[in-house]
Amino acid sequence: MKCTIHASKQFVRGTVDPRLFGSFVEQLGRAVYGGVYEPDHGAADEEGFRSDVMDLVRELDVPVVRFPGGNYVSNFNWEDSIGPKENRPTRLDLAWKALDPNQFGLQEFMHWSKKVGTEPMMVINLGTRGLAEAKDLVEYCNHPGGSYLSDLRKSHGSEKPYDIKLWGLGNEMDGPWQVGHKSAEEYGRLACEVGKAIKLFDPSLELVACGSSNSSMPTFPEWEETVLDHTYEVVDYLSLHMYFRNEEKDIATFLACSASMDAFIDTVVHVCDYVKAKKRSKKTMYLCFDEWNVWFHSHEKDKQQTPWIVGPSLLEDVYTFEDALVVGCLLNSLLRHCDRVKIACIAQLVNTIAPIMTETGGKAWRQTIYWPFYYASKYGRGEVLESRVDVASYENKQYGTIPYADALVVHHPETGEIDLFVVNRHEHEMLSLELDLPGLGNSYMLVEHIVLEHENLYAVNDAMNPEEVMPKQVLHADTENLQIAPLTWNLLRFHR
Ligand code: AHR
C-alpha cells in the first residue's frame, strides 16, 4: 500500500516542549514502596532509592514528574510527609484503601527528582484541604528563609528552597470518586483563589487547573468552560486525562483510539479559545495532558487486594505488544498537538500502569510501552511539521475514518535532521513509504530505521523474559523504497 508523506519545514505545526515527555509517580500500589523506594533492596542507595529503577528513569529521560497523585492527593496532608521519618504519622489513603507510612515524602521526592534529572510537578490537595494549606506548602517549598515554614524546611535539612516551578491545583475534581469532589463552580472559585495566592507569592510559578477526567464525563465540556470562567487569567494550563483499553478485543478499533485523544484535545482547545473570546483576553491557554496511557489489564486482580496495607500490588498492567503500538499512536497524537499541549505525563512511571516494572526485592525491567516512549522522548524534541499523509483508510464503527498509517514528521532545525514516527495500522499489508519534503531538499539519507514488531500481539516483557519485545534496527538495501511492515511502530531517522 502506497503511503506518501508531504511536509515542508516552512510549515511548522509547533515546537515541542520537552515536558511533553513527562511522567507521573503517585503514592499508589507499588509505585513508590517497592518501586522507586525500597531501602531493603540490594540496589537501594543511601536514601533507600532503587538505583536500578533510577537508571531506567534516567534512560527514559522524563523532564517532569507529577507527584504525589492522582486520587491519592485529595486526602493527603503534606505536613505528614516532612521532618524526621520516625515522627511521621501512618495514615489511611482513602483513594486506594492503603496504608500510607509517609516514609517517601516531600524531601525524598525532591532528592530523587534531582538524582534522576527531572523537575517536579507538585499537585496540591484541593479535595479535603484548601487555600491555607496550599499557600503554606508553597512557602515551605519555595521561600528561601526567614519565615516560619521556610525555616522549618531548613531545620529538616533542606537549606535551599526546592524552587518548584509547576503546580497542579487538585486532581480530577470533576470525578464523584474523588475525595472532596466538587462542582465546577465550587472548584473554579477555589482554584482561582489558591492560584491568586500562589501568584502573589511568585507570579512566575506555573499553575495547572483541573479539566475533565475524560471526555465521557457527563459534565464535559461545561466543566472546562465554568472552571476557565473563574480561572482564565490566573492559571497557565488546563489539564486533560484519558486512558485507553481494547474493549472490543479488536486490534483495528484499539489502534484507532488515538482519534478520541485527538478529538478530546481539539474540543478542549476550542473551549479554551471560546472562553478567551468571551473574556476578550489576549492570553492563550495551554494544555497539560497530565494522565494518559493504556490501562485495563489489571482490574480483576485489583479487586482481590487486601485493604490497608503498605504498597499493595495495584494496577500492575503487564503491557502487550499491541499496547505499545497504541502508545506509539497516542504519542503521535500528543506531538501533533504540540502547539497547544505543552506538558503531558504518561501515567505512570513505575509498577502502576507504568513503562517500568519491578519485583519487590528483585529485578527491574522495561515494559513493551517503554520503547515508543523512549524514542519519542529522545527524538521527538524538535519542530513538528504540518504534514499530509496520503494513504488508504478504513472505516471503524467507533472512531470513523482512520488512515492505515499514523505518521508524524519532526524536524530538528539546529542539525537539519528529520525523524519520522510511523505506525502501520494495517494487519497484513506493507506500507511503501514515499517522502515529499519540498524545502528540505532531496539530499536526505536514511541513517537509521528502528522497528518494534512481534508476531504475537499479546507478547509481553516480564521478569523471566524482559527482552521479548525489543526494538530492532532494519537494514535497507534500497532506501528509495522504504517498506513498513504491518502492525509495527517505526522510527526513521534522516540526515542531510
Ligand atoms: O493514574 C491512576 C488514577 O487514574 C489516578 O489516581 C487518577 O487521577 C486517575 O483516575
Closest residue (by CA) to atom 4 of ligand 1?
A: 70
440 pLDDT tier (thresholds 50, 70, 90): low
Q: Is the CB of 317 under 6 A from ligand 1?
A: no
**pLDDT one-digit tens code per residue, 449-471:** 999 999 999 999 999 999 999 99
**Residue 341: which of 270, 233, 238, 418 has the closest Cα?**
238
438 pLDDT tier (thresholds 50, 70, 90): confident
Alpha carbon of 44 to ligand 1 centroid (Å): 27
**pLDDT one-digit tens code per residue, 18-38:** 999 999 999 999 999 999 999
Alpha carbon of 183 to ligand 1 centroid (Å): 19
Q: What is the mean pLDDT of residues 479-491?
A: 92
CATH of domain 17-381: 3.20.20.80
Q: End-to-end CA distance of the chain: give it in Å, rounded.
A: 27
Predicted local confidence at residue 478, as pLDDT? 74
Q: Is the CB of 346 under 6 A from ligand 1?
A: no
Closest residue (by CA) to atom 7 of ligand 1?
A: 70
Q: Taking the alpha carbons of 383, 387, 391, 395 in that order, is the dihedral positive or negative?
A: positive
What homologous superfamily is domain 2-10+385-495 in, according to CATH? Golgi alpha-mannosidase II (2.60.40.1180)
**pLDDT one-digit tens code per residue, 148-158:** 999 999 999 99
Alpha carbon of 67 to ligand 1 centroid (Å): 12
Q: Which of 100, 172, 298 to mutate to test the pocket of ligand 1 (most atoms within 8 A of CB)?
A: 172
Q: Indicate which atom in ligand 1 lies nearest the CA of residue 28.
A: 6
Q: Name which of 115-119, 253-257, 299-303, 420-424 the model is least confident about.
A: 299-303
Q: Indicate which atom in ligand 1 lies nearest the CA of residue 291.
A: 1
479 pLDDT tier (thresholds 50, 70, 90): confident
Q: Is the pLDDT of residue 256 over 90?
A: yes
Residue given cell 519520522 in the structure block: 420
Q: Which of 23, 28, 71 to mutate to test the pocket of ligand 1 (most atoms within 8 A of CB)?
A: 71
Predicted local confidence at residue 439, as pLDDT? 66
Q: Is the pLDDT of residue 339 over 70?
A: yes
Residue 127 CB-half CA count within 13 A: 26
Q: Is the pLDDT of residue 392 over 80?
A: yes
What's the CA gap between 244 and 240, in Å, rounded? Answer: 14
Q: Is the CB of 290 under 6 A from ligand 1?
A: no
What's the CA gap between 39 and 76, in Å, rounded? Answer: 23
Predicted local confidence at residue 304, as pLDDT? 66
Coil, helix or strand at residue 140 = helix
| Cβ contacts of 260 within 8 Å, gap of 6 or more | 215, 242, 244, 399
Q: What amino acid positions are annotated as catalytic residues?
A: 172, 291
Predicted local confidence at residue 297, as pLDDT? 83
**Residue 289: which of 325, 243, 321, 322 has the closest Cα?**
243
* Residue 448, number of CB atoms within 10 A of its CB: 13
Q: What is the mean pLDDT of residues 316-327?
A: 97
**pLDDT one-digit tens code per residue, 134-182:** 999 999 999 999 999 999 999 999 999 999 999 999 999 999 999 999 9
Predicted local confidence at residue 465, as pLDDT? 97
Tell me if the bond preceding 161 is cis, omega within 30° of 0: no
What's the CA gap between 293 and 255, in Å, rounded? Answer: 13
What's the CA gap between 124 and 262, in Å, rounded? Answer: 28
What's the CA gap between 183 and 169, in Å, rounded? Answer: 15
Q: Is the CB of 333 under 6 A from ligand 1?
A: no
Query: Apex CA 391: angle with CA 2 and CA 21, to 5°?
Result: 115
Q: Is the CB of 108 under 6 A from ligand 1?
A: no
What's the CA gap between 315 and 51, in Å, rounded? Answer: 23
Predicted local confidence at residue 442, as pLDDT? 63
Q: Is the CB of 211 under 6 A from ligand 1?
A: no
**pLDDT one-digit tens code per residue, 201-214:** 999 999 999 999 99
Q: Indicate which atom in ligand 1 lies nearest the CA of residue 26.
A: 6
Q: Is the pLDDT of residue 299 over 80?
A: no
Predicted local confidence at residue 106, as pLDDT? 98
Query: Apex CA 221: angle with CA 217 and CA 227, to 5°?
Result: 105
Mean pLDDT, the chain, whole residue set: 96
Q: What is the mean pLDDT of residues 441-456?
A: 89
Q: Is the CB of 26 under 6 A from ligand 1?
A: yes
229 pLDDT tier (thresholds 50, 70, 90): very high
Q: Is the pLDDT of residue 45 over 80?
A: yes
Predicted local confidence at residue 441, as pLDDT? 60
Where are the domains positioned within the chain? 2-10+385-495, 17-381
Alpha carbon of 71 to ligand 1 centroid (Å): 6
Q: What is the mean pLDDT of residues 264-287?
A: 98
For residue 239, give the H/E element and its range: strand 237-244
Q: Is the CB of 358 under 6 A from ligand 1?
A: no
